[in-house]
Amino acid sequence: MNHNPRHANPYAHVKAPTEEQYHSCIKCGLCVPDCPTYRATFKETESPRGRVMLARKVLEGELEPSKNFQDQMNRCMDCLSCNSICPVGIRPADLALDMRYAAEQVKSTGWKTLLFRHTVQYPGRLEIASLPLRLYQNLGIRWVLHRAGLISRLPAKLRDLENQLPPIPARPLRVRIPRVTRAVDKKEHTVAFFLGCGQSLLHAESSKATIDILAHNGCEIITPRQTRCCGMPARGYGRMDEVLAMARFNINLYETLEVSHIVTDCATCGSMLKEYAHFFKDDHAWADRARRFSEKVRDVSEFLSDIGIKKPPGSFKATVTYHDPCHMIRAQNIRNQPRQLLRLIDGVTFVEMKDAGQCCGSAGTQLVTHYQNSSAILERKIANLADTGAEIVASGCPACRMQLRAGIARAGLNVEVMHPVELLARAYENNPKGDERNG
């Protein structure tokens, strides 16, 4: 490899991507058209091919890892479209994440240690940190500000961030949900439920609906309250050390349970939990344990389709469309199952959205860190949503749903954002026979 003698390569002695992760790029450009950041700016440096070349130059010591270089790695949405289409097996999205990890090894950022090591890893501390949001919602402050029209006077970025927030539960679901939920009728399956952080704190009704639907379909559900974050936020910010710590804790916790599957209703969590096997593949002490854990993980739509969901006895009328979370459709290859669940509901008219599998621009926090790019990507998604004429848009990712809420409010659309299981739960609740759950 050629090295620039003017400066030492700071990545020479850290765990960094190897040559096979970037060297085989043939610059064909197949990855470029589907990249959401490239489509927003049409800049080569913001394409997967551009990021691969930048990473290669830095790793080979020909380019200094400047602040602009780090920003290009952080702009990647990790939507995985480039990973899926590369003809020679380069995975540019993974490379961008690995470069973030390399940068953190060279110079760790203090606030990331505070956030991911001392806060996110502990559910109780996350609940304390989110207390201001719950007070904002449940003391009526939010209602007053919206009623007075003050939210509309905020700068665009703050307005979008506020509109992202779903109705926030007064208490996190983690402290309310029973450890064991019995099957409504005959028990046919015993499963564990992986309650995600965002689901517990911000989308409790979605996860409550997941538990109810599983119980209606012959499942006894064990929900460990000690579950820690899946690790995806830490990975996105380059803290792979914290990812591995969270993964070890969760593997330890769930392998003590006698369950056939670990069910999640969060696309991001599902993709991350399935990656535990990859993270530990070279660790002799953890490889088999991580593999057994990951093999049990199922998205709720995937699991219900596998076991043969009972058709909801009730119905309701609505025109519904669906947005594919990137970490559902590409990371987990789950596309048809959520749509099949929605089509089961009597009264629902399902309308396919154009480019339903294109990124919405969220990537967790991109609306905060790269507002212009995130907004441009979101606008395309909302235009496609408006064209469907749908009253409800369903999606299985909490971050996507929050991003869609911001775009819907900005466009002035009258569209509700829901998880597919929430629609199923409505159909079960509208059961004309009035069946009740047993104890």
Range of the domain at 145: 112-164
Count of domains forming the chain: 4
Share of the chain above pLDDT 90, in %: 88
In-domain check, residue 185: yes
Phi, psi of 298 (to 5 degrees): -140, 140
pLDDT at 5 over 60: no
Which one of 147, 164, 181 terminates a domain?
164
CA-CA distance, 427 to 392, in Å (whole number)? 14
In-domain check, residue 392: yes
Same domain, 50 and 102: yes
Q: Mind listing the pLDDT tens digit for each residue in 402-423?
A: 999 999 999 999 999 999 999 9
CATH number where 382 lies = 3.40.50.1860
Same domain, 275 and 350: no
Which one of 58, 77, 106 terminates a domain?
106
pLDDT at 2 over 50: no
Same domain, 290 and 185: yes
pLDDT at 432 over 70: no
**Which residues, 6+ apart, have CB-to-CB distance to 169 below 8 Å?**
134, 201, 202, 204, 205
In-domain check, residue 439: no
Same domain, 292 and 370: no
Q: Give the CA diameter of the chain.
A: 78
Same domain, 327 and 267: no
Amino acid at 270: G
In-domain check, residue 4: no
Same domain, 257 and 330: no
Same domain, 210 and 286: yes
CATH number where 31 lies = 1.10.1060.10
Same domain, 99 and 140: no
In-domain check, residue 293: yes
In-domain check, residue 151: yes
CA-CA distance, 385 to 412, in Å (whole number)? 12
Q: What's the distance, Cα to Cα, between the start and end of the chain in Å?
A: 67
Same domain, 346 and 388: yes
Nearest residue to 87 via CA among 139, 41, 26: 26
Share of the chain above pLDDT 70, in %: 96
In-domain check, residue 119: yes
Over the chain, what is the mean pLDDT? 93
What per-residue confidence (pLDDT) applies to 146?
A: 95
Q: Mind listing the pLDDT tens digit for each residue in 307-343?
A: 999 999 998 899 999 999 999 999 999 999 999 999 9
Lowest average pLDDT, out of 11-20, 72-81, 179-188, 356-365, goes to: 11-20
Q: Mind listing the pLDDT tens digit for each residue in 220-266?
A: 999 999 999 999 999 999 999 999 999 999 999 999 999 999 999 99
- When pLDDT is cut at 50, 70 and 90, the band that residue 437 belongs to is very low
Q: Find the mean pLDDT for residues 172-192.
A: 96
pLDDT at 431 over 50: yes
